[in-house]
A = this chain, B = another copy of it.
Amino acid sequence: MKTIKIGIIGTGRIGRVHAMSLVRDVPGVEVTMVADPYVDNATAWLDELGIAGRTTDYKEIIAKDEIDAVYICSVTSTHAMIMVEAARAGKDIFCEKPIDLDIAKVREALETVKECGVRLQLGFNRRFDPSFRAVRDRTAAGEVGPVDIIKISSRDPEPPPIEYVKGSGGMFLDMTIHDFDMARFLAGSEVTAVHAAAAVRVDPAIGEAGDVDTAIITLWFESGAMAVIDNSRAAIYGYDQRIEVFGRKGMLRAENNTPTRVEYFGPDSVSADKPLFFFLERYADAYSAESRAFVEAIRQGTEPEVTGIDGLLPLYIGTAAGRSYKEKRVVTIDEVKGE
């Protein structure tokens, strides 16, 4: 079994997550080099993981012939550019979402990836969560019949810093985009129209930054199914991530994961753990699983499960959601796509 050599571009929080998963949980790979303008900040954990190749210039990774694949974990605004360069250098690509906030730029980058014939996997890690995947697989196997209603509750434990909010493209493109992908994944069908209700409930500063922090979004699918997503930037009880798929033959749902299964029976109530705190804890297994799937696709020469189109379509949906919220009407995907 040939070792797959990987370069990681970006050693921030998400770069570190992928580095840890690759080193610890993915057999047959080597993290050959990491690149980041501030790579020195990562010395401690790079040492601990035994990753020796380090550079401040990602082009060094792209130029390195022995490297088979790159993980693009840099700031969003650089994703499309690096993707294009990596594709031209013949590297297989794992790219964190979103590819870009600009639809035209995303299309262009995907075009190049296609021309170059490299593999591209998008970082929609939640698809690899064991519970969500089981719901999808069992739905796809017909356990609930044709899907009628999908419900996704997706609430962060606390809002990001205002500076982050300002550059994020807005909640629909930054946070809900994961839920749009999940809705497509569960429905096995494409979204045709969107209605978004939203509000500023958590922090007025988010509103002043032109964004919202609370939303209820309705989706219509080609299949005739409908979905509803509810979002909040601040769930005091932790990271609330639940899904539900309903059809004529039954309902599948996945409740939150908790640190332990301990219950306390006390004088006032029976209490159990609140959900795992945030995405690093909740989706730890999912991060490992998505990297194993990516490496397996490279090894088997197959198409990754989550690829370019999966980066583009949620962007359409998110854009439509933003417009729906602002114009208080249903917005079709065709309307957004056609532009």
Contact = CB atoms under 8 A, between A and B. Distances in A.
Interface of A: 24-25, 27-28, 48, 130-131, 134-135, 138, 143, 146, 148-149, 151, 153, 155, 195, 197, 199, 201-202, 214, 216, 218, 220, 224, 226-228, 230, 232, 234-237, 240, 246, 248-275, 328-330
A236 B216 contact: no
Contacts of A216: 149, 218, 226-228
Contacts of A214: 148-149, 226
A201 B232 contact: no
Contacts of A199: 148, 224, 226
A237 B261 contact: no
Given A250-B264, A253-B265, 9 more contacts: A151-B151, A236-B250, A236-B266, A251-B264, A251-B265, A254-B261, A254-B263, A269-B274, A329-B329
Q: How many copies does the complex hold?
A: 4
Contact of A330 (B201, B220, B240, B329): B329
A69 to B, nearest CB: 20
B255 A261 contact: yes
A237 B130 contact: no
A261 to B, nearest CB: 5
A195 B197 CA distance: 9
Given A201-B248, A226-B199, A249-B236, A259 B25 contact: no
**Which 5 interchain pairs have the tightest Cβ spacing?**
A237-B265, A131-B260, A269-B271, A251-B265, A271-B271
